[in-house]
């Protein structure tokens, strides 16, 4: 309908506008968000992995590119603004710099690791220093960060549950090593069926999106 409106200049009724808004919200809840290119919008969230003997509570900081579905994850024993910023600093921004792509905007929920006083909150300060726009999900509607929710369901079913059945992890580093191996498979071998992926891997989608971005916005 949106394409038809753009092409033919049709004026929508109030009910049609509401229907389009509901469709957009449903897509977001299911992890489908319209983005122009890789790096245009990333989704970040915290996933509680579990409590491990000798390690304690383990949290995963997750970042998923909403265009290509490329994912980055890092494990921590705390859930703080510092750990939220560390994922970006250690994994996300270096990756996009290597790909020569900008990171323009990041969507998070309203957790304390992401939100606080702008002049003293480590995560918000990091975002400001790197000129990244911070978008928050609607109050009491965390499902609007559905792309991370769907990824967390996938990683639970495909990595954590099988891994924890066959192995006892004695350290955070050991679990991170196995997680990185799975992420390499997820990003480079596992095909997806999203709007942009169409049977390709996330990295294949990202590289194609980078080509389109350069043609439209750089050249």
Q: Write the pLDDT tens digit of every residue in 20-53.
A: 455 554 444 444 467 889 999 999 999 999 999 9
Give the Cα separation of 170 and 157 in Å (integer). 21
* Number of residues in the chain: 219
Distance CA 23, CA 19 (A): 6
Q: Which pLDDT belongs to residue 16?
A: 56
Q: Tell me if 169 sits within 8 A of 139, measured CB to CB.
A: no
Average pLDDT over residues 60-72: 96
Percent of the residues in the chain that have a pLDDT greater than 70, as a whole number: 79
Within 13 Å, how many C-alpha atoms sit on residue 100's CB side?
8
Confidence of residue 218 (pLDDT cuts 50, 70, 90): confident
- What does the alpha-carbon distance between residue 70 and residue 58 come to, in Å, rounded to a whole number? 22
The model's pTM: 0.82
Q: Is the pLDDT of residue 146 over 60?
A: yes
Q: List C-alpha distances in Å: 195 to 37, 60, 67, 198, 200.
A: 12, 26, 8, 6, 11
Asked if residue 152 has pLDDT above 80, the reply is: yes
pLDDT at 1: 47
pLDDT at residue 179 greater than cutoff 60: yes
Query: Lowest-pLDDT range, 15-29, 164-178, 192-206?
Result: 15-29
How confident is the model at residue 68, as a pLDDT?
93
Q: What pLDDT is recorded for position 35?
A: 81
The pLDDT of residue 11? 63
What pLDDT score was predicted for residue 30?
A: 42
């Amino acid at each position: 309908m949106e394409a038809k409106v753009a092409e033919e200049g049709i004026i929508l009724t109030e009910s049609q506008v509401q229907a389009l808004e509901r469709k957009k919200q449903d897509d977001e809840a299911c992890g489908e968000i319209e983005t122009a290119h890789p790096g245009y919008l990333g989704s970040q969230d915290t996933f509680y992995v579990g409590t491990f003997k000798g390690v304690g509570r383990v949290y995963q900081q997750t970042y998923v590119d909403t265009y290509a579905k490329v994912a980055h994850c890092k494990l921590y024993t705390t859930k703080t603004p510092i750990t939220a910023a560390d994922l970006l600093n250690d994994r996300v921004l270096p990756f996009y710099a290597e790909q020569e792509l900008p990171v323009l905007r990041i969507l998070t929920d309203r957790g304390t690791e992401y939100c606080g006083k702008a002049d003293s909150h480590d995560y918000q300060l990091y975002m400001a220093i790197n000129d990244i726009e911070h978008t928050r999900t609607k109050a009491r509607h965390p499902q609007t960060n559905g792309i991370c929710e769907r990824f967390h369901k996938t990683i639970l079913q495909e990595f954590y549950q099988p891994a924890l059945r066959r192995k006892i992890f004695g350290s955070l580093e050991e679990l991170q090593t196995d997680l990185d191996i799975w992420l390499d498979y997820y990003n480079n071998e596992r095909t997806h069926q999203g709007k942009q992926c169409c049977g390709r891997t996330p990295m294949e989608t990202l590289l194609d999106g980078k080509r389109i971005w350069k043609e439209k916005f750089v050249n």
